Amino acid sequence: MRVSVLDTSPIVRGATAAEALHRTVDLAVLADELGYHRYWVPEHHGMRGIAGSAPAVVVGRLAAATSRTRVGAGGVLLPNHAPIVVAEQLGTLAAFHPGRIDLGLGRALGGPRAAADAVRGERERSAKTFAEQVKELLGYFAATGPSARCPRSATRRRYGCWGRARPGARVAAGLGLPYAFAHHLNARDAFEALLSDREITVRPTLLSVAVIAADTDEHAEWLAGPERLKILSRHHARRILLPDPETAAAHPYTEAGRAELEARCGHLVVGSPSTVQERLQGLRDRTAPHELMITTPVYDHADRRHSYELVADVVNRLLPAHSD
């Protein structure tokens, strides 16, 4: 089974955006050495805990630093951009790195509305539907017409929609594009609804999953503490940078807070290699994706690297899904 990486370039407490981006390059080189299939970076704006705001720039840097892994955006938030600019940027990257550039497309704002408005005004974002924007973008890679002047090294097969709800899946189904589902965004209920919606004839070909692996279950749980605290804080409208495990362990959770953690963090796959293998196997059996994309929200970069080393071995031991 193919396994890939989704890296938000997280800015953890005590670090800078520059450090986060350099760690992204380091992790991409490791993923390339370990045989990960893709390495994707998202688009966010005005979020102090994420350094990934310019995916085309980051993709170019990562493609230059690696040799085998496909590199791409997961995803470019198309309403924030004129489709022709996205086509020119990604087409140019594909010309420099033939056969290695992906483009996942999303429809969210990618940050606070004020930041999104600064990137592109509401009138321009909503002038066309997402489906119309995707069609326009694909048209710029056609071989004839005015769009023929755009770089066309990337083919339609390397494009797809990215999201966690029905609208994006319907667009993908209508245009015959693959669909990447953002399971890591705590969307289990939405995912079940997606699979049961008879109007959607596309199954997710790529499933992103939040995985924190360590040598033991106990240490993995320790490493997952910061992400759990961050999730809980976000749902209480308190945005925090990812803290260190010691700070997370010392947090005075109430009984109600611990119950809320259990409810909101069930999408996290946390544990030793055997535990992670069991959880991923169950997820694969239930959803039958063609590919898993792993994101690992861990405070210490060395622990994050080690988690990806363990996961690379775990995925090789997964059995085919029952529905494969």
**Higher per-residue pLDDT: 214 or 155:** 214
Q: Is residue 51 part of a domain?
A: yes
- Please tell me the distance from the alpha carbon of residue 89 to that of residue 56, in angstroms, as a whole number: 7
Q: Is residue 142 part of a domain?
A: yes
Q: What integer best gives the mean pLDDT of the chain?
A: 87
Element holding 57 (H helix, E strand): helix 55-65
Q: Decide if pLDDT at 151 tops 60.
A: no
- Please tell me the distance from the alpha carbon of residue 242 to that of residue 269, in angstroms, as a whole number: 18
Give phi and psi for 293, each to the nearest 5.
-120, 120
Q: Is residue 265 part of a domain?
A: no
Q: Is residue 288 part of a domain?
A: no
Domain that holds residue 176: 2-206+304-315
Structure tokens at 32: 């390339």
Structure tokens at 160: 């797809």
SS3 210: strand
**Higher per-residue pLDDT: 300 or 161:** 300
For 136-146, what is the mean pLDDT? 72
Confidence at residue 154, expressed as pLDDT on a 0 to 100 scale = 44
Which residues make beta-bridge pairs with 77? Answer: 106
Under the banding of pLDDT at 50, 70 and 90, the label for residue 129 is very high
Please, how many CA atoms are within 13 Å of residue 10, restricted to the half-sphere of its CB? 20
Cα dihedral 18, 22, 27, 33 in deg (nearest 10)? 170
Confidence at residue 185, expressed as pLDDT on a 0 to 100 scale = 79
Q: Is residue 76 part of a domain?
A: yes
Tens-place pLDDT, residues 223-246 = 999 999 999 998 888 889 999 999
Q: Which of 284, 280, 276, 278 is nearest to 323 (CA)?
A: 284
Confidence at residue 149, expressed as pLDDT on a 0 to 100 scale = 54
Q: Is residue 229 part of a domain?
A: no
Under the banding of pLDDT at 50, 70 and 90, the label for residue 155 is very low
Q: Is residue 244 part of a domain?
A: no
For the domain that residue 134 is a member of, what is the CATH number?
A: 3.20.20.30
The total of structural domains in the chain comes to: 1
pLDDT above 90 covers a percentage of the chain that reads 61
Q: Is residue 245 part of a domain?
A: no
Q: Decide if pLDDT at 163 tops 70.
A: no
